[in-house]
Amino acid sequence: MDLKIGTCTLELVTGDITKQQSDAIVNAANSRLAGGGGVDGAIHRAGGPSIMAQTRQTYPQGCPTGDAVITGAGKLAAQYVIHAVGPVWSGGDRGEQESLASAYRKCLDLAVENGCGSVACPSLSTGAYRYPVDLAAGTALSTVISFLKENQKPAVIRFVLFDDPTYAAYEAALREILE
């Protein structure tokens, strides 16, 4: 499903984010930037050790929840990996929504600062961090849409959703936003 926002395009697709050809891909990282499972494991496996070497050297202090940092992309087709730290879900009254929105905004700020025309994002926080996907989808999409309306870049933001239930949640959230 695609949505035009001015000259920009927001896309929803299913797939594996490590296979994306976009200028930047977003990683669902942890605040120690220590690697892990899910998207993080897949990106470091496919991209090779240079990505972790760079996070260790450039960001030894890690990255707080709701923030993001950028590195090269090693062997991946993308030019950059943007490591975003979404919140761990703990019931919804610990600022999770604001942290999730902030993580996406920081990703897009970094993408624009680094001249990326296309960015691929996973569904931050909805795997190991257990954020309910219906809620996360609404926040993710409304944050990205606001950013595109304000900035008119990057030209393409593509949500790469790993499975059909996650895709369906994002599609339903997008339809709701458009109503």
Q: List residues binding ligand AR6 (CB under 6 A).
A: 16-18, 28-30, 35-40, 42, 86, 122-129, 160, 162-163, 166
User: Least distance (Å) from ligand AR6 to the CB of residue 103?
Assistant: 9
Q: Please name the residues in contact with 106: beta carbons below 8 A apart, sequence gap of 6 or more.
A: 66, 67, 68, 84
Instruction: Using the Cα atoms of residue 25, residue 39, residue 141 and residue 20 in order, give the sign of their dihedral.
Output: positive
Rg over CA atoms, the chain: 15
User: For ligand AR6, which is the closer residue by CB, 7 or 91?
Assistant: 91
Active site annotation includes 16: no
Q: Are 66 and 106 in contact (CB under 8 A)?
A: yes
User: For ligand AR6, which is the closer residue by CB, 19 or 175?
Assistant: 19
Active-site annotation holder among 23, 40, 67, 134: 40
Q: Are 22 and 120 in contact (CB under 8 A)?
A: yes
How many C-beta atoms lie closer than 10 Å to residue 89's C-beta?
A: 17
The letter for the amino acid at 87 is P
User: Least distance (Å) from ligand AR6 to the CB of residue 18?
Assistant: 5
User: Least distance (Å) from ligand AR6 to the CB of residue 6?
Assistant: 27
User: Least distance (Å) from ligand AR6 to the CB of residue 49?
Assistant: 16
Catalytic residue numbers read 40
